[in-house]
Amino acid sequence: MKVVILCGGKGLRMKEVTGDVPKPLAMIGNKPILWHIMKTYYHYGFNEFVLLLGYKGDRIKEYFMDYEWKNNSFRLKEDGHYELLEPSEKWNITFLDTGLDTMTGGRLLRAKSLLKDESFMLTYGDGLADININKLVDFHIENGKVATVTGINKSNQYGVLTTENNIATEFIEKPTDNNIINGGFFVFNHDVFDYLRDGDKCILERDPLVHLVEDRQLAVYNHNGFWTAMDTYKDIMDVNKLWVKDEALWKVW
């Protein structure tokens, strides 16, 4: 099953970082957010990634093209090739340019031909959690819905979900009270593309999720462990403090 990661946003609320690099490359310790997310999926056996690029997508390409020799000891051979002296992640990564101003649903729509008729996972390039990915996938299969979203019990600016028997009954983009919020970490059947309309202007978190709820096709996997999303420079600093103190609860590997 492929893992699709939204990496194209401009991160306007994090200009201290995103003036130079895209938000998924903001550093936690000595590795970017994106690396931490991919390590979580890799820990559970998923190594096929599709990165949906936009703002400064070339920097993400450069990071992974240089990743092995910059992050591992190696022996340089006389023919110009190198041999790693330690194991490295065996990731297969597709870098898909999806446009500078394309919305989240539009970016996913551009990946349709790569995903064929299979189910796949999707998450944002700025969220971390100690979520058990295998349990999430099993939950999606057991419920047999078009989509599954990870629900987080938290009060903030994210869209919230009202649920009944683990099926979403209402989606509100701007909440006012404590509720279950959209924590990302989705699993989709290929039928989700029937809900993605308006081309590049399609915003996944609006009409598509609302219509999935109306059709009773959005299951909610409740995650009660660690979760955080990084919208501001302060968020990055807070997560780095956890990393330094060895309290990085998202580190499941």
Q: Residues 108-159: pLDDT tens digits?
A: 999 999 998 899 999 999 999 999 999 999 999 999 999 999 999 875 555 6
Give how many domains the chain has, as a whole number.
1
Q: Cα separation of 234 and 65, whole Å?
A: 29
Question: Taking residues 215-229, what's their average pLDDT?
Answer: 96
Greatest C-alpha distance within the chain: 64
Residue 156's pLDDT is 53
Per-residue pLDDT reduced to its tens digit, 73-111: 999 999 989 999 988 899 999 999 999 999 999 999 999
Per-residue pLDDT reduced to its tens digit, 224-239: 999 999 989 999 999 9
Residue 252 located in a structural domain = no
Which among 91, 161, 148, 92 is positioned nearest to 120, based on CA atoms? 148
CATH number at residue 19: 3.90.550.10
Residue 15's pLDDT is 76
**Structural contact between residues 215 and 189, judged by C-beta atoms closer than 8 angstroms:** no
Per-residue pLDDT reduced to its tens digit, 12-56: 777 777 788 899 999 999 999 999 999 999 999 999 999 999 999
Residue 250 located in a structural domain = no
Helices and strands (H, E) in the chain, number of each type: 9, 16
Residue 11 pLDDT greater than 80, yes or no: no
Q: Cα separation of 147 and 161, whole Å?
A: 14
Residue 64's pLDDT is 96
- Which carries the bigger pLDDT value, residue 24 or residue 11? 24
**Structural contact between residues 78 and 122, judged by C-beta atoms closer than 8 angstroms:** no
Residue 136 located in a structural domain = yes
* CB-based contacts of 181, cutoff 8 Å, min separation 6: 151, 152, 153, 154, 155, 156, 158, 159, 160, 161, 175
Residue 251 located in a structural domain = no
Residue 240 located in a structural domain = yes
Residue 219 located in a structural domain = yes
Question: Taking residues 161-181, what's their average pLDDT?
Answer: 75
Question: Taking residues 1-22, what's their average pLDDT?
Answer: 86
**DSSP letter for each residue of 176-225:** -SSEEEE---EEE-GGGGGG--SGGG--TTTHHHHHHHHTT-EEEEEE-S
Residue 175's pLDDT is 56
User: Which domain covers residue 54, as residue numbers?
Assistant: 2-244
Which token pair is 91? 């990731």
Residue 10 located in a structural domain = yes
Mean pLDDT of the residues in the chain: 92
Query: 0.85 cut: is pTM over it?
Result: yes
